[in-house]
Chain A
Amino acid sequence: MAEQLISLWEVFIRSRNGLAHKHVGSLHATDATLALQAARDLYTRRGEGLSLWVVPSNAITASDPTDKAMMFEPTASKIYRHPTFYEVPDEVGHL
C-alpha cells in the first residue's frame, strides 16, 4: 500500500566540465523536493556535479529493444547525412 506513494526517480547530473546532464542512477522518493535532496545525498558525495535533474521514471518513454533493427539500423548506410565532407577551418573551433 505504501509502495504506491513512494515512486522511482531517475537522476541526471551535469558535472563541472560537462555540457550535458548524464544519467547516473535512480532512487525512491515521495515527491520532487525529497527526490532532489536524496539525489544530492546519494549521487554527489564525491563532487560529481554542479547541476541535478530528477525525473519521475514513469515520465520517461524508452524505445523497445526489440525494435532496434527497425529504429536504428537504416541510418548506418546513409553516410550522406553525416557532416564529414566539409573542411572546418581551425578558427571555427568546436562545432
Chain B
Amino acid sequence: MATGSIVVTETPLIRYVLRRADDALILGHRLSEWCGHAPTMEEDMALANMGLDLIGQARGLYSYAAEVEAAGRSEDDYAYLRDERGYGNVLLVEQPNGDFARTMVRQFFYSAFIDPYWGALTASTDATLSAVAAKAEKESAYHLRHSAEWVIRLGDGTAESHRRARTAVDDLWAFTGELFETDDGERALIADGVAVDPISLRPAWLETVSAILAQATLPLPEGGWMQKGGRGGHHSEHLGHLLSELQYMQRAFPGATW
C-alpha cells in the first residue's frame, strides 16, 4: 500500500496537461474556501458553482494525463499524491482569497486569459484536449462575465470598494505575466498544433482587461516585472499550506473510498 508521494514520468504532453489541470484544481480549491463565507447567499452559490466548474475541468484533464502516462494511475493520484514541486500551476491561482475584491480580480485576470485560450484549444489536433476545451470554454465565459461585472461594480463603487479593488489589481498584476509563459516542451506541442501559444492571446487579454478596468475607474498598472516559477514547480509560500488541506484526507487515510 503506497503512502508516499507519487513521481510522475513527465513527457511534454503530460507536463502540459498537468499544468492546465493544476491551474483549474488550485483555483477551484481557492473558490471552494468561500463556501459558507461569501458576502451574500447568491455569491456563495456563484463561487461554489465556479469552483465546481474548475474542479470538473481538472478532473477531465487529470484523467487524460492518467491515460497518457499509462502507469495505472487515477485522476485522484495526480490531484492528491504529488508533492508541491510536482505542481505546475501558475502562481496567480494559488494566491490567497483575501477579500471579495481580491478574489474577483484574481478570477477576472485568470478568466480573461483562459476563456480565449479554451476557445483556441478547440482547434487542437488532440481530440481529447479539443473536447475538454469546448466544454470548458462555456464555463469560463460565464466566469469571465461574472468576475468582470463585479470588478466594475467594486471599482466604480464606494470609496472602500474602490480602495480594495485597486489594492487587489496592483498586488496581483505581477502574477499575470506567467499566464503567457511557455517553455521548449510546450513550444514543440504548439508547433504540432496540440497546444495553443499563449503569447498570441496577450493582446486580446490586455484589451479585455484594459476595457473593464477603465469602466471600473481603476488604473491599469504599469511596470513590466512579472513573478514566475509556478510552471516549473517553484511556488509561493501559499501552495504548501493549500496542499496540506487539499491532500489531508488522502494522506491520512491512503486508499480510502466511499
Q: Which residues of A are in contact with B by a Cβ distance under 8 Å?
A: 6, 27-30, 33-34, 37-38, 40-42, 45
Contacts and interface: CB of A to CB of B under 8 A. Distances in A.
A65 B152 CA distance: 42
A28 B41 CA distance: 9
Contacts of B46: 37-38, 41
Interface of B: 40-42, 45-46, 49, 142, 145-146, 149, 153
A38 B149 CA distance: 12
A38 B49 CA distance: 11
Nearest to B50: A41
7 contacts: A27-B41, A34-B42, A37-B146, A38-B42, A38-B46, A41-B46, A45-B45
B42 A29 contact: yes
Contacts of B41: 27-28
A61 B149 CA distance: 30
B49 A37 contact: no
Given A28-B40, A30-B153, A37 B145 contact: yes
B149 A41 contact: no
Nearest to A37: B146
A6 B153 CA distance: 13
Contacts of A37: 46, 145-146, 149
B45 A42 contact: yes
Given A27-B41, A28-B42, 15 more contacts: A6-B40, A27-B42, A28-B40, A30-B153, A33-B149, A34-B42, A37-B145, A37-B146, A37-B149, A38-B45, A40-B142, A41-B45, A41-B49, A42-B45, A45-B49
Contacts of A28: 40-42
Nearest to B49: A41
- Shortest 3 CB-CB distances between A and B: which pairs? A38-B42, A41-B46, A41-B45
A38 B153 CA distance: 15
A54 B49 CA distance: 20
A81 to B, nearest CB: 43
A13 B112 CA distance: 29
A43 to B, nearest CB: 10
Contacts of A34: 42, 149, 153
Nearest to A43: B45
A30 B152 CA distance: 13
B71 to A, nearest CB: 36
A32 B223 CA distance: 37
